[in-house]
Amino acid sequence: MKSRGLQHLESARVGLRSIQAHKLRSALTMLGVIFGVAAVVSMLAIAGGARREAVEQIRLLGTNNIRVTHLGLTGKARADAEQKGSQGLSTKDADLIEASLRGLGEIAPVRFVDAPVLLRGRESSARVVATNSDYAAVTDFRAAQGRFLSELDVADAKRVAVLGASVARDLFGFRSPMGRRIRIGDDEYTVVGLMESKRVREGRATVIRVRDINRDVYIPIRTASTRFPLARDAGAIDELAIRVTDADEVSAVAPIVTRLIRATHHGADDFEIVVPAELLAQAQSTQRVFNVVMGSIAAISLLVGGIGIMNVMLTTVTERTREIGIRRAVGAPRSAILAQFLIETVLISASGGVVGIVLGFLMAQGINRFAGWETALSPLATASAFAVSALIGVVFGIYPARRAARMDPIGALRFE
């Protein structure tokens, strides 16, 4: 067995020599595998990047969450909804759901208020978000300094505000905003808290648009209803954020929420329900289709590459028939000849694989730089690309190698 290993080491050296001796031919032979592997690697990098981005954005919404959004209807749909007597999404819906959830989770109504945020006449491009004290818990978004809105703030409709990180920087620079007063609309508000900064990526085609929550300014929802009354029902809101404590129950709770709201809205389709966890699953299944398609393309190019290698190896075996005869005559067993050519094929395909991985990595970098797509290449993906390229050598090398090993020594020696 020891001598077997020695033989194979020797075969590897001979194979390497043979590759070196025919540099151009070896390079051309590798080309198929190089491009195949490069395609696989860059595909995996793009897919990995897209997945990471989708997961990141959906996480931002919270995978335990259910979001109900008010849909502003127009034209016939609006007339239809009015006829059915729907009043749109409102705090009543929130109360109803909260009563039904009964400890299954928390709920926060959200209203976006269209009002400028100013500090001594300086305006910040902030979005005023009116909500209740549960919002921080529901969205898993915490105050970095001070506190988030309290139940008392909401109950008393206090004029207090909690600033998003970007807004605070815009208005106060590096000074602390705590306890300072800012102007929202026509009124002064006291800053009681500063939110932590969250990484938000306003990326390319993703499943959901995520607003930059670092630009939010939070005020109590009852303050908003008194200070910024709406033409529509006083309790009207734009969004309901629901957090289900147990992640496994999200998909069970979502249809119940839908049914409850549909009942109170008398069947009007003036709301939309978004379940990030489901979107995530959906995104992943879309990704799977993409992977299958790209994977098939890569598989075909690898197949073609493999056939190319096999073709060249068959030629090599024929060319070296004499050498095979000589080796057999001086005592090489069939297994040694088989190993020699198999190792040579694997060396070619695996070197092609290494070059392909580098090329694929560079392609992914290029795509990242010029198209702005995020790419991520995992070590596992790299390792499997390499393994596949080596496997191609084995699969497509076995036939030429067997042909070499089965040659009759005398016939091989006399081959011209």
Partner 1 sequence: MEALVRLEDVTRSYRMGHSELHALRGVSLTVQRGEYLAVIGASGSGKSTLMHIAGCLDRPTSGRCWLDGTRVEDLPDDELSRLRNGKIGFVFQAFYLIPQLSVQENVEVPLVYSGVKRAQRSELAREVLERVGLGGRRAHRPNELSGGECQRVAIARALVGRPELLLADEPTGNLDRRTGQEITNLLEKHHAEGVAVVIVTHDVAKARRAQRILQMEDGRIQRELQGAEREQLVDALEPASGR
CB of 314 to partner 1, least distance (A): 19
- Which sign does the torsion angle of CA 313, 318, 320, 326 carry? positive
Residue closer to partner 1 (CB basis): 273 or 413: 413
Of positions 157, 260, 326, 394, contacts partner 1 by CB under 8 A: 326
Number of H helices, E strands in the chain: 14, 12
Tell me if 330 contacts partner 1 by CB under 8 A.
yes
Closer residue to partner 1, CB minimum distance, 34 or 332: 332
Separation of alpha carbons 196 and 198, rounded Å: 6
Q: Does 315 bind partner 1 (CB under 8 A)?
A: no
Q: What is the β-pairing status of strands 187-195 and 216-220?
A: unpaired
Residue 229: which region, alpha, beta or left (left: phi > 0; alpha: psi -120 to 50)? beta
Nearest CA-CA partner of 240 in 112, 357, 66: 66
Q: Which amino acid is at 346?
A: V
Write the binding mask 152 to 171 for partner 1: x where contact by CB under 8 A, - elsewhere.
--------------------
Separation between Cα atoms, residue 57 and residue 51, nearest integer Å: 10
Q: Which CB, 238 or 344, lies closer to partner 1? A: 344
- HSE value, Cβ hemisphere, 13 Å, CA-based, for 46: 24
Torsion sign (Cα): 125, 154, 106, 98: negative
Exposed / middle / buried, residue 103 (Cβ in 10 Å: 0-12, 13-18, 19+): exposed
Residue 25 touching partner 1 (CB under 8 A): no
State which of residues 263, 322, 369, 380 lies at the interface with partner 1 (CB under 8 A).
322
- Compute the 3-state secondary structure of the chain and give helix, strand, coil in percent, each to the nearest 5: 60, 15, 25
70, 127, 227, 327: residue in contact with partner 1 (rule CB under 8 A) = 327
Q: How far is the CB of 347 from partner 1 (least distance, A)?
A: 15
| Identity of the residue, 29 or 225, whose beta carbon is nearer to partner 1 in the bound complex | 29
With CB under 8 A as the contact rule, which of the stretches 6-14, 116-124, 172-180, 294-302 interacts with partner 1? 6-14
Q: Provide the CA 5 distance to its chain's centre, in angstroms.
A: 45
Binding flag, residue 10, partner 1 (CB under 8 A): yes
Minimum distance of partner 1 from residue 340's CB (angstroms): 10
Tell me: does residue 7 bind partner 1 (CB under 8 A).
yes
Binding to partner 1 by residue 325, rule CB under 8 A? yes
> CA distances (Å), 352 to each of 68, 220, 338, in order?
52, 63, 21
DSSP bridge partners of 105: 244
Q: How many CB atoms lie within 10 A of CB 29?
A: 26
The yes or no reply on residue 2 touching partner 1 (CB under 8 A) is yes
Residue 18 in the binding site for partner 1 (CB under 8 A): yes
* 24 near partner 1, judged by CB under 8 A: no
Half-sphere exposure of 108 (CA within 13 A, CB side): 28
Contact region for partner 1 (CB under 8 A) — 5-13, 56-64, 155-163, 309-317? 5-13
The nearest distance, CB 318 to partner 1, in angstroms, is 15
Cβ closest to partner 1, residue 169 vs residue 334: 334
Alpha-carbon distances, residue 372 vs 51, 206, 348 (angstroms) = 15, 14, 34
The binding track of 67-86 with respect to partner 1, each residue x by CB under 8 A or -, is: --------------------
Q: Is 199 in the site for partner 1 (CB under 8 A)?
A: no
Task: Choose between 14 and 260: whose C-beta lies nearer to partner 1.
Answer: 14
**Total binding residues for partner 1 by CB under 8 A?**
26
199: DSSP letter? -
Contact positions with partner 1 (CB under 8 A) in 332-361:
332-336
Residue whose CB is less far from partner 1, 117 or 337: 337
**Which stretch, 4-12, 112-120, 175-183, 366-374, contacts partner 1 (CB under 8 A)?**
4-12
Distances in Å between the Cα of 11 and the Cα atoms of 45, 133, 292 are 35, 73, 38
Q: Helix, strand, or coil here: 275?
A: coil
Span from 16-24, 49-57, 132-140, 239-247 in contact with partner 1 (CB under 8 A):
16-24
Q: Which residues bind partner 1 (CB under 8 A)?
A: 2-4, 6-7, 10, 17-18, 21, 322-323, 325-336, 409-410, 413
